[in-house]
Amino acid sequence: MDKLKVAVLGATGMAGQWFMSLLEEHPYFEVVAVGASKKSAGKKYREAVKWIIPKPFPEKYGDLVVFNASNADELKEHVDLIFSALPSEVAGDIEIKYLKKGINVVSNASPFRLEPDVPLMNPDVNPDHLELLKYQKRWGAKLVKNPNCTTAVLTMPLKPILNEFGIEDITVTTLQAISGAGFAGLPAYAITDNVIPYIAKEEYKVEVESKKILGKLEGNEIKPATFDVEATATRVPVLDGHTEVLYIKTRRQVDAELVKDVLRSYRSRVQELNLPTAPRRPLIVMEEVDRPQPRLDRLNDKGMAITVGRIDITAKGRVRMVIVGHNLLRGASGVSLETAELMYKEGYIT
């Protein structure tokens, strides 16, 4: 089978490095071009990147010459798809340039996530939302977004609970890894021996993106979920892996063992298709009283599964649980790649 040719924008950053690592031996996609900032343009990829993720450097891509990602005309190779790991503050305008050249884009960045014709994809949760692409007409190609990393982790266990019991409201407190702020995002003095109880715009993203992802596709639009979401986002001195503490008020009365069974048995379209990046078990339930933990559980099932523990029912009848997911795999590069795999298998890219 001939592989589709892809380019990675923002290839020198942390999310970009995960893209390059995940794509090195991918059965569907082959990287033929890498884009980064103007200061990296013209260098070989091995010279431009400071490799920091805990995976070996992908030697097969080391001699690719980096082009200036902000100038779409510098992309000389034919590509079928672009993966964008560009910073959100510049991504919107740059991605549109490639869309207008007829190149589909799957992006980590926040611009356009809430636009009504743009699928906001967490494929284990809302694979049917890709149908929005049939109505997306404004560019010469198709744009798909993945959610904020915290939202990607959160919506995984919420989906089967919403399906089985309904949800009235959710309260979530997040303990987010420092890698979510990027390699240079936080001074060591600020985060060492500390917890920072605020992350700009994070709580808003969790509240609105969750409702879109868990909403229903009706014709050419998504009807957002109607439950309330209250979020408190904090940054903690953990390298990778977001921990979230959830309190869920369900519409139907439940017990803890039934919740565990529903989570363990959950499967989606991506498991049915056996996509390369999809976890075999999207939700891993642990019985140990001190699990999950980010250091021990963030890489479960290729870093794409969500690990759930401390499941019980509070005195007020809420479902309480603690969840852990890898913010750069399930929350960024991995979920984008899984989305592209679903697009490929469902015929949206050829």
Residues annotated catalytic, as ranges: 149, 242
How many CB atoms neighbour CB 280 within 10 A?
A: 12
Which residue, 258, 263, 295, 290, is CA-closest to 279? Answer: 263
Structure tokens at 46: 């091995």
d(C-alpha 112, C-alpha 99), whole Å? 13
- Classify strands 283-285 and 306-313 as parallel, antiparallel or unpaired: parallel
Query: Tokens 């702020």 correspond to what residue?
Result: 181
Structure tokens at 228: 């309330």
Strand blocks (E) in the chain: 4-9, 29-36, 67-68, 81-84, 104-107, 143-145, 167-176, 216-218, 221-223, 228-235, 242-250, 283-285, 306-313, 319-325
Residue 102 burial class via C-beta count within 10 angstroms: exposed 0-12, middle 13-18, buried 19 and up: exposed
Count the residues in the chain: 350
- Classify strands 81-84 and 4-9 as parallel, antiparallel or unpaired: parallel
